[in-house]
Amino acid sequence: MRTLTVDGLTYYLPGSVAEVLDLVNEALAEHGTLALRGAGHSFPISTALEPAPSPGRPCRRVLLSDLAAVAFDAATGRVTVQAGCHLGFDPYDPAKVSTEENSLCCQLDQWGWALPDLGGITHQTVGGFLATGSAGGSTKFSFDEQLRAVSIVTAGAHGAELVTFEAPADGDPLDPFFAAGVSLGLFGVIVSATFQCVPRFAVQGSETTSAVAECAIDLFGAGTGARPSLADYFRQTDYARLMWWPQAGVEKVVVWEARQVPVPPPPFIPTPYHEVPWVFDSPLPVTALADGVFTLIDDLPAWLSQHFGHDSKLYHEPMALGEGALPHLLNLFVTTNTPENPPQLFRDLWHHGIPMDNQMDDKLMGVWFTELWVPLPRAAAVMQALRGYYAQGLAQTGTFSCEIYAGKASPFWLSPAFGTDVVRIDVFWFANSPGRPDTAFYPQFWDLLQPFNFRPHWGKFLPPADGAQGVAYLQAQYPNFGAWLALRAQFDPQQVFVTPYWRRHLGLAAVPAAEAVSA
């Protein structure tokens, strides 16, 4: 079995299910743990943030890059894909094996098939996207409802074992399949999944930028006349994403929307969506410029404080000038549509058109976020709460945008969309900003939206385990949480797959030392 060093950490890359079984049995024998990583998109992967091993337990880190085979059954329209396969091309794949051609979406499209929904990017591995309950921006279609089976190498009472969870024919909502579909990697190593595909399609849409007050959607109310409420808009639209710039003097919203259309006959020449203006046939020059501007904006307070002191006139006067200039800078990047600057129109194949953020460089313009899922009927109330909070000033808005998505209700027990369509509030943090967002910025939004019973995306920044939105709060948001924990313990009684990170956030007690030794 080959290994790979990434950022000073050694990863095992099993090339078969048999090698995964061996890794799990070895971990059981030495009372160790296994920690998996996927593409590392959702949560910033670095040596400092990599999940630490449990004290006194050897930890083997695993990357599934060599488990990426795809098998398609044309008779049923079903695809079985190994968990290390990327949905699309991952430009930062540490194993350097990801290509557009070997991605799941590209292969499906070539066979004439598709998945009805994808996330805003497709860099992720199939296993990582599935395990964290990730989703695209639609209440009509979803990724997880196409799942028909998931195979996981567990570490139960009889040692390492390959267990396949199949969707129950009778749809029994308490079937273990609905626990395993969003497992957080804590049932074991996901090695493959089977999805029901749909015939390939294209998407056609537009992106419109307007003042918040002139938006075609009633963002804060129940809808008036031709302006639907935000909840109704998400219900009526195939795919949608809003970017809200709430800063005083900006107060704009960018509405990206698309619908499914038949693939035009050949020769079909796509009109691709451009998230930023392209220069020299590339988004990189403008992305680099934006990165520099936001870095300058966010570094200014720390630089001034360090050189002149926080109470100095030489701190406050440049800060006042900077805050006054901020709306002008942001308005250069977020330009309102006019007859001379019409909305952007696009048409593309499904796997290029739905993931609108693929063209953005994760490293060059890094963005971190906490993502809070709230029942869709409460969308207007959530937006009202945010509007009132943002009105207090720059400390509340920050210098970046807020992303607003929807998501379809899910039957999987630990999906943040379990049992309800949701509106998703993505609080953005520019990655080059000094400090950490989970202490410097996100807590105010966790507090603000707690009354709406938000469920955080498992793969993004979570509230602190010992805080008001910690273990007790999270457990209360999921009706089947206790049953999920019981199944998790059944398939992994020695906590081979439990890192201290998940032990803290899920409230898992450590395996007693005597019990571990006797096992």
Determine whether domain 2-199+480-518 maps to CATH 3.30.465.10. Answer: yes
Q: Residue type at 125?
A: T
What integer is the mean pLDDT of 461-481? Answer: 96
pLDDT band at 423 (very low <50, low <70, confident <90, very high): very high
**What's the whole-number mean pLDDT along residues 442-449?**
97
Q: For residues 443 and 254, is the Cβ–Cβ distance under 8 A?
A: no
Q: How confident is the model at residue 519 (pLDDT cuts 50, 70, 90)?
A: very low
Q: Is the peptide bond before 267 cis (omega within 30 degrees of 0)?
A: yes
The answer, yes or no, to whether residue 135 has pLDDT greater than 50, is yes
The predicted model scores a pTM of 0.92
**pLDDT for residue 128 is more than 60:** yes
- Model pLDDT for residues 186-204, shown as the tens digit of each residue: 999 999 999 999 999 999 9
The two tokens of residue 424 are: 């998703």
State the pLDDT confidence band at 293, using cuts at 50, 70 and 90.
Answer: low
Does the structural domain 202-278+336-464 have CATH classification 3.30.70.2520?
yes
- Residue 255 DSSP SS3: strand
Tokens 């571990």 sit at which residue?
Answer: 516
State the CB neighbour count (10 A cutoff) for residue 451. Answer: 11
Rg over alpha carbons for the chain, rounded to the nearest Å, is: 23
Q: What share of the chain is helix, strand, coil (3-state, %, to 5)?
A: 30, 25, 45
Three-state SS at 230: helix
Instruction: Supply φ then ψ for residue 230, to 5 degrees.
Output: -60, -40
> Which uninterrupted H or E stretch holds 131?
helix 126-131
Query: Cβ–Cβ contacts within 10 Å for residue 468, how many?
Result: 12
User: Comparing 366 with 518, which gets the higher pLDDT?
Assistant: 366
pLDDT class for 126, splitting at 50, 70, 90? Answer: very high
Sign for the CA dihedral angle at 109, 114, 115, 116 comes to positive
pLDDT of residue 318: 55
**Which two three-digit tokens encode residue 514?**
């005597």
Higher pLDDT: 486 or 429? It is: 486
How sure is the predictor about 298, in pLDDT bands with cuts at 50, 70 and 90?
Answer: low
Residue written as token pair 């396949």: 164
The b-or-e profile of 41-72 (16+ CB within 10 A means b, else e) is bbbebeeeebbebbeebebbbbbbbbbbebeb
pLDDT tens figures, 243-257:
999 999 999 999 999
pLDDT category of residue 329 using cuts at 50, 70 and 90: confident
Question: What is the pLDDT at residue 468?
Answer: 97
pLDDT for 492 equals: 97
**Percent of the chain residues topping a pLDDT of 70:** 87
Among 195, 163, 203, which Cα is nearest to 180's? Answer: 163
pLDDT tens across 80-109, in order? 999 999 999 999 899 999 999 999 999 999
CA distances to 175, 218, 306, 316, 396 from 311, rounded to whole Å, are 61, 43, 11, 7, 21
Q: What is the residue-wise DSSP string for 173-191?
A: TTSTHHHHSS-TT-SSEEE
Q: Number of H helices and number of E strands within the chain?
A: 16, 19
Range of 226-235, 275-284, 311-320, 501-510 with top mean pLDDT: 226-235
Residue 303, pLDDT score:
57
Banded model confidence at residue 46, pLDDT cuts 50, 70, 90: very low
Collapsing DSSP states into helix, strand and coil, what is residue 202?
strand
Looking at residue 516, its pLDDT comes to 46
pLDDT in tens, 161-179: 999 999 999 999 999 999 9
Domain residue ranges in the chain: 2-199+480-518, 202-278+336-464, 284-333
What is the sign of the dihedral through the CA atoms of 161, 166, 170 and 176?
A: positive
Q: Are strands 252-261 and 344-349 parallel, antiparallel or unpaired?
A: unpaired
Residue 383: its H or E element: helix 379-390
Distance CA 414, CA 55 (A): 27
Exposure string over 188-223, b if 16+ CB within 10 A, otherwise e: bbbbbbbbbbbebbbbbbbbbbbebeebebbbbeee
Whether 510 has a pLDDT exceeding 90, the answer reads no
Position 414 scores a pLDDT of 98
Mean pLDDT of the chain: 89
